[in-house]
Chain A
């Protein structure tokens, strides 16, 4: 347990680091309305910049969070956000990510099995080409191709399509890792022994091989969760979903700096939460992890 606590402490440090770094980066921006020639932002936005970031005040970096907890609006009235709205948008993005996760696992399992089969035949090159095509296809391209058909339909179809396009690359990436782990495990002596004793191939896979493959899968879940959440930014933008990704992109485009600070820190906290979940899951699923931390 101590090792897990140490890992968590390391991850948790990320949150204040991101909060402080993003605050000071944003607070140092030369957003100015001093003269008309230099005016880069509206007066309203510049006023909200000073007000929301508490520039020049002691502990000013806590100001955006104080405002959020008091239920006040960050940023300008038209494009700003309250704490409740932020949570609502975040839950929307997390919902899309949660829909994408099982889809990614399905892609992963399917691709891992196909890759293992392809490796023995004339389709071996596909085992390399499919990951390259999946990696080389930014999320927004399949989203663009699907968008005209689904954007107006509603009934969660845009959310489902966003989850689908977001899940492809992480799924194929996971599938490559699982495929490699599967192949390594299948070539081990214990598999030959189990088959030699008369166990069916499916039983050997389920009872002996897969428990040894789970750790490789869990190792990759953290980066995959990051790419699912980051990928959902593009998908939300294309499908017009008013969630966290859309909020973030609009905040950057409109220079809503306080919203950027808060959203960046919230996103980092979400990643830490995912890491925590993965560590707990690993502790439950992988006996070697329990032995190592005992």
Chain B
């Protein structure tokens, strides 16, 4: 823990704190939250308090972000490893495909994938994926290109190190090098990449849910904001939007700080 930079530590504490808070307040003891909420009832859902909806939404957004971030990091890592192992033209082709996916805006592609997924779901062909699974799958299918590029570049840098050259000269194959020599050096970077995907996934989900395209139930922060913005027309409507926004900002701040600090941390020589 002492090797973790202060900014990363602050970001991680913020993330874990928000996660625990949303778990305790939004999932384990929602009754306590509903009876003590200082922000009152939600104007569009008079049976629920603003705190219940905001913390419940935080929990859902965090769960979507964690699952989608982990899945897209895993896909990106696999693609990068396959690209490095294939080398030459194979690697160039994979990189062009990665660039093509990377060039498209996340929100637009997630909307199209949600349309496709929901149509399959309506026809009973979604393979058991509910709205949560559909959203995670859509975000992962969009978000893997960035991690793939980052992992591929980091792998290329690591492969130029002397200890890798020595292992290769001693007869180590591609898969062996990757598993035994490169992965330990790649692990902290993978954590940083995962944390960098977390806010991107949460924000994309929020925007798509805000449009009313995703059918997330219980509601995520984005869907909550998307369904309750009519409250702003009335006096004091800010109390509905501002807490959810603040939670979203804190979530992204935590993940961004942790990710930036971890990816910038110089590796200590073994």
Chain B, interface size category, equals: 35 or more
Contact of A14 with B100 in the complex, beta carbons under 8 Å? yes
Contact of A30 with B123 in the complex, beta carbons under 8 Å? yes
Contact of A230 with B249 in the complex, beta carbons under 8 Å? no
Contact of A136 with B253 in the complex, beta carbons under 8 Å? yes
Say how far A129's CB is from chain B's closest CB, in angstroms: 7
Stretch from A74-82, A203-211, A249-257 that touches the partner = A249-257
- Residue from A29, A136, A139 whose CB has the most chain B CB atoms within 10 Å: A136
A112 CB–B CB distance under 8 Å: no
Contact of B248 with A18 in the complex, beta carbons under 8 Å? no
B229 CB–A CB distance under 8 Å: yes
Option from B105, B114, B212, B260 in Cβ contact (under 8 Å) with A230: B105
Contact of B99 with A10 in the complex, beta carbons under 8 Å? yes
Contact of A38 with B123 in the complex, beta carbons under 8 Å? yes
A273 CB–B CB distance under 8 Å: no
Option from A31, A141, A233 in Cβ contact (under 8 Å) with B119: A31
> With A132-B257, A271-B103 in contact, do A26 and B116 touch (Cβ < 8 Å)?
yes
Contact of B249 with A133 in the complex, beta carbons under 8 Å? yes
B51 CB–A CB distance under 8 Å: no
CB-contacts of A111-158 with B (<8 A): 128-129, 131-133, 135-141, 144-145, 147-148
Query: With the chains together, A226 CA to B206 CA distance in Å?
Result: 18
Query: With the chains together, A264 CA to B252 CA distance in Å?
Result: 28
Q: Using CB atoms, name the residue of chain A closest to B252.
A: A136
Contact of A147 with B112 in the complex, beta carbons under 8 Å? no
Say how far B209's CB is from chain A's closest CB, in angstroms: 10
Contact of B211 with A249 in the complex, beta carbons under 8 Å? yes
CB-contacts of B158-207 with A (<8 A): 199, 203, 206-207
Which residues on the B side are within 8 Å of A22 (C-beta)? 112
> With A30-B120, A137-B249, A226-B105 in contact, do A17 and B100 touch (Cβ < 8 Å)?
yes
Contact of B104 with A18 in the complex, beta carbons under 8 Å? yes
B13 CB–A CB distance under 8 Å: no
Which residues on the B side are within 8 Å of A38 (C-beta)? 123
Which residues on the A side are within 8 Å of B151 (C-beta)? none
A293 CB–B CB distance under 8 Å: no
Query: With the chains together, A230 CA to B206 CA distance in Å?
Result: 14
Which residues on the B side are within 8 Å of A255 (C-beta)? 115, 119
Say how far B53's CB is from chain A's closest CB, in angstroms: 16
Which residues on the B side are within 8 Å of A132 (C-beta)? 249, 252-253, 256-257
Contact of B100 with A13 in the complex, beta carbons under 8 Å? yes
A101 CB–B CB distance under 8 Å: no
Contact of A144 with B225 in the complex, beta carbons under 8 Å? yes
> With A135-B199, A136-B248, A248-B108 in contact, do A141 and B241 touch (Cβ < 8 Å)?
yes
B125 CB–A CB distance under 8 Å: yes
Contact of B241 with A253 in the complex, beta carbons under 8 Å? no
B210 CB–A CB distance under 8 Å: yes
Say how far B1's CB is from chain A's closest CB, in angstroms: 21
B251 CB–A CB distance under 8 Å: yes
Contact of A144 with B207 in the complex, beta carbons under 8 Å? no
Contact of A252 with B103 in the complex, beta carbons under 8 Å? no
Contact of A145 with B241 in the complex, beta carbons under 8 Å? yes
B96 CB–A CB distance under 8 Å: yes
Say how far A170's CB is from chain B's closest CB, in angstroms: 12
B47 CB–A CB distance under 8 Å: no
A73 CB–B CB distance under 8 Å: no
Contact of A136 with B112 in the complex, beta carbons under 8 Å? no
B232 CB–A CB distance under 8 Å: yes
A292 CB–B CB distance under 8 Å: no
Which residues on the A side are within 8 Å of B245 (C-beta)? 137, 141
Option from B103, B213, B257 in Cβ contact (under 8 Å) with A128: B257
Query: With the chains together, A267 CA to B105 CA distance in Å?
Result: 10
Q: Using CB atoms, name the residue of chain B closest to A40.
A: B122
Contact of A137 with B248 in the complex, beta carbons under 8 Å? yes
B239 CB–A CB distance under 8 Å: no
Q: Which residues of B contact A (CB under 8 A)?
A: 7, 96, 99-100, 103-108, 111-112, 114-116, 119-120, 122-123, 125, 199, 203, 206-207, 210-213, 222, 225-226, 229, 232-233, 238, 241, 245, 248-253, 256-257, 260
A–B Cβ pairs within 8 angstroms, 22 of them:
A10-B96, A25-B116, A30-B125, A32-B123, A132-B249, A132-B257, A136-B199, A136-B253, A136-B256, A137-B245, A139-B207, A140-B226, A141-B225, A141-B245, A144-B232, A147-B232, A148-B233, A229-B105, A233-B107, A234-B210, A238-B229, A268-B104
Q: Which residues of A contact B (CB under 8 A)?
A: 10-11, 13-14, 17-18, 22, 25-26, 28-32, 38, 40, 128-129, 131-133, 135-141, 144-145, 147-148, 226-227, 229-230, 233-234, 237-238, 248-249, 252-253, 255, 257, 260, 264, 267-268, 271, 275
- Interchain residue pairs A-B with the least CB separation, the first 8: A136-B252, A230-B105, A30-B123, A136-B249, A132-B253, A29-B119, A40-B122, A132-B256
